[in-house]
Amino acid sequence: MKSLLILIAFFISSSVALNCQQVPGSLKQIDAGLGMVVGVNNNNNIYIRFGGTWVQLPGALKHVTVGPAGLWGVNSANQIYKIVNGNWVLVPGLLKQIDAGGDQFVAGANMNNNVYCMGRNGAMGITSNQSPAPWELLPGALKYYSCGPISCWGVNSANRIYIMKGVTPTICTGTGQWQPIQGILTMIEVSVDGSVYGVNPQGNVYRRDGITDINPAGTGWTQMVISGVCQHVSYDLGQLWVIKNGGSIWTCS
């Protein structure tokens, strides 16, 4: 009963109403970083936003990400790809979800919920299909994992939230110790500036507050009041990108 009351308190915490505008198009997943926005639709077609319009990229991916480590994605067979000189390069390894929001390092979860990361030297050294991929295995199991400049956040199969502190470009495994964070989320995204947003099982969006270099875990959650049921979010440069059930795309500020 005590844990239930704590969870209820989490979801009735402070809230902020956002001003949202619909963007033409339909996507199932979206990622924003360094002023770029990419996403994939239900047919695994890949899109990047240029000049206020969506431009389709070649290939087919189920999850795509963009950030300081470049443009990466994974396909329906969990194969990993990175854009190099305008072309997709196959990267050794298998992941179901990937994130390039770290300081030139990448991370993600595989089909068994094992968590992996690759430091800056490895990630930036992927230049061809023959490049080695020095993935490092982290302890524990997560279904979704996202990184920022100083910490990485993830959720497990029970939608519990965890943070890995102390990540750096050369030590992407951080401290190696998971800190549990109060709350329940189905997915979570860390932006290039370290902001953290996520979606709960009811389709509500939350922002983590109080994040600093000294306290990367922050202090609490604030609900972003957005009409409709949300399924995926990403944040960059003051804009929250939201995918609602049905695939509609929204920007909120």
Q: Provide the sign of the torsion angle of the four alpha carbons 239, 31, 145, 112, taken in this order.
A: positive
| CA 94 vs CA 51, 60, 82, 135, 188: distances in Å | 33, 16, 13, 10, 20
- pTM for the whole thing? 0.93
Q: What CATH number should be reported for the domain holding residue 206? A: 2.130.10.30
List the single range of 13-22, 178-187, 205-214 with lowest mean pLDDT: 13-22
**Which structural domain, as residue segments, surrounds residue 210?**
2-252
How do residues 107-147 score in pLDDT, each as one tens digit? 999 999 999 999 999 999 999 999 999 999 999 999 999 99
What pLDDT, on the 0 to 100 scale, is given for residue 145?
98
Cα 116 from Cα 145, distance rounded (Å): 9
**Who wins on pLDDT, 14 or 23?**
23
What pLDDT, on the 0 to 100 scale, is given for residue 13?
58
How do residues 155-176 score in pLDDT, each as one tens digit? 999 999 999 999 999 999 999 9
DSSP 201-243: TTS-EEEEE---SS-TT-SEEEEEE-SS-EEEEEEETTEEEEE
How do residues 210-239 score in pLDDT, each as one tens digit? 999 999 999 999 999 999 999 999 999 999
Residue 10 binned pLDDT confidence (cut-offs 50, 70, 90):
very low
Number of domains the chain contains: 1
